[in-house]
Amino acid sequence: MLGWILVWTCIFILFLFIRIPRPKNFPPGPRPVPFFGNLLQLNIANPLKDFERLANRYGKVYSLYIGSKPTVVLNGFEVIKEALVNKAVEFAGRPQDLMVNHVMKEGGVVLADYGPDWKEHRRFALMTLRNFGLGKQTMEERILGEISFIVDKLDKAVGGSIDPKTMFHNAASNIICMVLFGSRFDYDDAFFKRFIEIFTENAKIANGPWAMIYDALPMLRSLPLPFKKAFTNASTGRQMSLNFINEHKKTRVPGEPRDFIDCYLDELDKRGDDGSSFCEDRLKLYILDLHFAGTDTTSNTLLTGFLYLMNHPKVQAKCQREIDEVLEGKDQASFEDRHNMPYTQAVIHEVQRVANTVPLSVFHCTTKDTELMGYNIPKGTMIIPNLTSVLNEEGQWKFPHEFNPANFLNDEGQFVKPEAFMAFSTGPRVCLGEGLARMELFLVIVTLLRRFQFVWPEDAGEPDYTPVFGVTLTPRPYRMHIRLREPAKKL
């Protein structure tokens, strides 16, 4: 026993006196300890309050160590704009030694590092989404078609209450599936449920302590610890993606693409053996990348939106009056109708602001030695843009700490979008699916508010707006009471 006490005493003294050297003129921050860095000083379950506390102490640019990795945290609009916009290339990299990168094998485009391969794949994705009618009637029809399944479910629940989480998640997943695969799935389809299960499980692992342990302590990566499940799931997902690719090869007509996979296969035909980064292995990852990015963010924003609308009935009613007036005589909403709905637009953007769905963005990495706000930041330093610090920053919003659509309205009641609205991040790494997400949010919220009234159940107690922290912030489970509006509006 005495021997063990001496061993632990020596370890404590070692941690106390060994200093991890900082690069010259590196941003200030709390002192790290060997092996763990600053992880022991953070609430891993939800570090956002810790990030705020450290910014108050060390300034808007400060450093942390994730294990032995030096990391710089950016806070506030001016700092994040300076880094991600004004010095875009220097801060456009992605760290490549994290669990998510190893699980996804660098991903299709979201997690890929900055460089020629990333540029040509992002350019291809933007072009393909645009050609498939993003902002045009074809995409609207697909989204409205999926919304009809939500309406059917809510019609059956009129007079009662439901938990909307699975409903919104399935709908968002199906919309991105239509883009990727050209078809939707029944919500009870075994393949569809398994595909979603893979992403749900991996999101939980990525959000939890085992991912932190993997990132901070490389010597443990070969052990059979719970993070191994993420690799197994990803392998299953890649095989499912490959099955889709093989089916498309059998049924496609070259030059007449039905969906994203067909477009990619056409691109492969066109390029031949040109030595580019386009290949089937990359397409498998692309599918997983875009599906995850296009599902969790939208569904969690919708969940946040209806949580707030139920508990701000005057805001909900004002939206409904505007929707009724603009859509009078029309069977269904169009994305173009947003230009005539300034208040509803303001509400949807305010929902995105308070939802703060991706609070720490996707981590960046410096592509070269650079300087920011007087500090030197070496090439390869991991960068965490704290978008939370922008979306509730004093001085950037009229009401930074409350839900208020006035944050997006001028004195004349017209919709305005402040530059500090960074719900989709900013710079060259801005969210690839921003256009699709904006269309989904508008059409879903407007269609449902036109037909239904959403009420906080009387027996539900006080609403809890505190989200569950993760790669995306998720509202805590809740139920919503459904009433049919009088007179009920047609689809």
Average pLDDT score over residue span 155-167: 96
What is residue 268's predicted lDDT score, i.e. its pLDDT?
92
Confidence of residue 292 (pLDDT cuts 50, 70, 90): confident
Q: How far apart are CA 365 and CA 43, in angstroms?
A: 23
**Regarding predicted confidence, which is higher, 279 or 89?**
89
In this model, does residue 6 exceed pLDDT 60?
A: no
pLDDT tens-digit map of 33-49: 888 889 888 887 788 99
**75 pairs with which residues across the strands?**
386
Listed in sequence order, the residues at least 6 apart from 3 whose beta carbon sits closer than 8 Å to its beta carbon are none
In this model, does residue 9 exceed pLDDT 70?
A: no
**Nearest Cα to Cα of residue 36 among 10, 61, 57, 64:** 64
What is residue 453's predicted lDDT score, i.e. its pLDDT?
97
Average pLDDT score over residue span 302-312: 98
Domains present along the chain, CATH in parentheses: 2-484 (1.10.630.10)
Question: Averaging pLDDT over each range in 50-64, 193-207, 262-276, which range is the top one?
Answer: 50-64
For 452-474, b/e burial (b = at least 16 CB within 10 A) is bbbbbeeebeeeeeebebbbbbb
Average pLDDT of the chain is 89
In this model, does residue 419 exceed pLDDT 70?
A: yes
What is residue 13's predicted lDDT score, i.e. its pLDDT?
47
pLDDT tens-digit map of 242-269: 999 999 999 999 999 988 999 999 999 9
Confidence of residue 391 (pLDDT cuts 50, 70, 90): very high
Confirm whether pTM is higher than 0.95: no
The answer to whether 352 and 300 are in contact (CB under 8 A) is no
